[in-house]
Amino acid sequence: MMKRSLIKVLITCGPTWVPIDDVRVISNISTGTLGQMLAQDFARAGGKVTLIEGPVQRPLESKTIKILKFKLYDELFALLKKQLTDHFDVIIHLAAVSDYQLKKTFRSKLSSHLTRLDLKLVPTKKIIEQLKRIAPKSFLVGFKLEPKISEGNIKRYTKNLFEKAQCNLAVVNSISGNQYLAYIVDTKGNILAKASKKEGLSKLLIKAIKENL
């Protein structure tokens, strides 16, 4: 049985879009699969789960999980702020949030006959760094995706998650072809678990949250 303190869980997953014009967007290749697995595993363990899911190719369907949909960066941020007016014991921020957006979005649809198009991008606000300000009592888990990771560089990759976002746990993961690798890390930089498959990571992360809550 899941501890009482783990009953309410909020998970974000999938890509976020930022608009270029009325019909074009900048996106990323996140599938949302790991977030969906975590939502299902938490629900099976007795948790009351809310999943905020981006524009994934295979949306999750469930009768036991509350699923809210978003497409755009601004929609995700607005949904989080609205949902976090209620208390969640655990927040797992797994959505692949856009790091940049256009300084100025084009109106209507850009012509497809342009010979050159320059896009000026500016950084988006780091959503992960806002969550503890909105929900300071929630147990926050943040994710960091890097092309290459090893035990020796884990602390460097998790520094901002712990110092700026005030995460309680962090996951550093890497995907290269069919190879997957992930480390679960605590606030002191200790590696709590290592996984080579998303299915294994989901179960290990739930275990780590229960032990560190």
**Distance (Å, rounded) from C-alpha 88 to C-alpha 204?**
20
Q: What pLDDT does 3 receive?
A: 47
pTM: 0.93
**Distance (Å, rounded) from C-alpha 9 to C-alpha 7?**
6
Q: What is the CATH number of domain 4-103+119-212?
A: 3.40.50.10300
Residue spans of the domains in the chain: they are 4-103+119-212
Q: What pLDDT does 135 receive?
A: 97
Question: What residue has token string 């990771």?
Answer: 149
**Distance (Å, rounded) from C-alpha 162 to C-alpha 164?**
6
Please enumerate, as own/partner, the contacts of 171-176 that have beta carbons within 8 Å and a separation of 24 or more. 171/141, 171/142, 171/143, 171/144, 171/201, 171/205, 172/143, 172/144, 172/146, 173/143, 173/144, 173/145, 173/146, 173/149, 173/201, 174/145, 174/146, 174/147, 174/148, 174/149, 175/145, 176/147, 176/148
Q: What pLDDT does 1 receive?
A: 41
| pLDDT by residue, tens only, the chain of 213 residues | 444 445 899 999 999 999 999 999 999 999 999 999 999 999 999 999 999 999 999 999 999 999 999 999 999 999 999 999 999 999 999 999 999 999 999 988 999 999 999 999 999 999 999 999 999 999 999 999 998 888 888 999 999 999 999 999 999 999 877 889 999 999 999 999 999 999 999 999 999 999 998
Q: What pLDDT does 175 receive?
A: 84
Q: What pLDDT does 177 receive?
A: 75
